[in-house]
């Protein structure tokens, strides 16, 4: 018997902080924006039965709001889908970085070879997300909404499309907008097939 499972990867809404690299920094999305996103999600005719969320507030607050509105949904908080940890520069506004711009420029040009000070390496980030995704694909049995981060979604897409996760172009060229949906279908039959139906589609 063939079963098709729909997975919706939602990047969280725009955060309230100044422009910066936000990884482990637990910054929030404005409550009015979260309310708007939740309303848009509730208007979808998706048959989701489960919500998986990053533990960071910009994702988790929306997941909790959604499950409160739809108590029949199950909620799982997952550490493995957090954004990359950018170390000493995590959450530091760009206009305050000063002399550390060179470190940031080197990271942007070749992120696989230039780990930021005290940060998670790109290799470890890729491993964390890709191992999670492989396990998720093996076990998922119901339509699921995953609320996570731009970097996390890029890593999942790199796994699905066999893109080079080391390439800076994956991050500079592949745009994953705030509150956008990337739709994946997993077809389970005699073997498992994966299909990318949309990338960074507007939620509304």
- The rounded distance, in Å, linking the Cα atoms of 123 and 120 is 8
How far, rounded to the nearest angstrom, does the alpha carbon of residue 139 sit from its chain's CA centroid? 19
Model pLDDT for residues 183-199, shown as the tens digit of each residue: 999 999 999 999 999 99
Q: Bin 144: left if φ > 0, else alpha if -120 < ψ < 50, else beta.
A: beta
What number of other Cβ atoms are within 10 A of residue 142's Cβ?
13
What pLDDT does residue 88 have?
A: 97
Above 90 in pLDDT, residue 1?
A: no
Q: Which domain, by its residues, includes 146?
A: 3-202
Residue pointed to by tokens 């509730």: 42
What pLDDT does residue 85 have?
A: 98
Number of domains within the chain: 1
Any idea what the CATH number is for the domain that residue 23 is in?
A: 3.40.50.1240
What pLDDT does residue 168 have?
A: 96
Q: Which helix (H) or strand (E) holds 99?
A: none
Mean pLDDT of 19-35: 97
Q: From start to end of the chain, where are the E strands?
A: 3-11, 50-53, 74-77, 144-148, 180-188, 192-202
What pLDDT does residue 204 have?
A: 81
Model pLDDT for residues 134-168, shown as the tens digit of each residue: 999 999 999 999 999 999 999 999 999 999 999 99
Q: Give yes or no for a contact between 179 and 195, defined as CB atoms under 8 angstroms apart.
A: no
Mean pLDDT of 8-22: 97
**Sign, Cα dihedral of 99, 104, 107, 110:** negative
Please list the residues that pair with 15 across neighbouring strands.
29
Q: pLDDT-derived band of residue 172, with 50, 70 and 90 as boundaries?
A: very high
Q: Residue 55: CB partners within 8 Å, gap ≥ 6?
A: 77, 78, 79, 82
Q: What is the pTM of this model?
A: 0.97
Above 90 in pLDDT, residue 105?
A: yes
Model pLDDT for residues 33-90, shown as the tens digit of each residue: 999 999 999 999 999 999 999 999 999 999 999 999 999 999 999 999 999 999 999 9
The alpha-helical segments, DSSP class H, found in 79-142 are: 101-109, 122-139
What number of other Cβ atoms are within 10 A of residue 18's Cβ?
13
């Amino acid at each position: 018997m063939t079963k098709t499972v729909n997975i919706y990867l939602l990047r969280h809404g725009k955060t309230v902080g100044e422009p910066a690299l936000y990884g482990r920094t637990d910054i929030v999305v404005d409550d009015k924006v979260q309310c708007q996103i939740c309303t848009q999600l509730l208007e979808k005719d998706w048959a989701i039965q489960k919500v998986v969320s990053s533990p960071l507030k910009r994702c988790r607050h929306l997941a909790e709001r959604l499950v409160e509105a739809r108590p029949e949904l199950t909620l799982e908080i997952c550490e493995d889908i957090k954004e990359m940890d950018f170390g000493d520069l995590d959450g530091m506004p760009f206009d305050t970085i000063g002399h550390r711009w060179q470190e940031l420029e080197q990271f942007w040009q070749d992120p696989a070879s230039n780990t930021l000070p005290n940060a998670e390496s790109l290799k470890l980030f890729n491993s964390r997300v890709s191992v999670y995704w492989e396990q998720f694909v093996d076990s998922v049995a119901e339509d699921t909404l995953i609320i996570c981060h731009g970097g996390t979604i890029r890593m999942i897409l790199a796994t699905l499309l066999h893109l080079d996760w080391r390439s800076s172009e994956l991050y500079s060229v592949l745009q994953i907008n705030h509150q956008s949906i990337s739709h994946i279908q997993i077809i389970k039959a005699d073997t498992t097939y994966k299909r990318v139906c949309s990338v960074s589609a507007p939620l509304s």
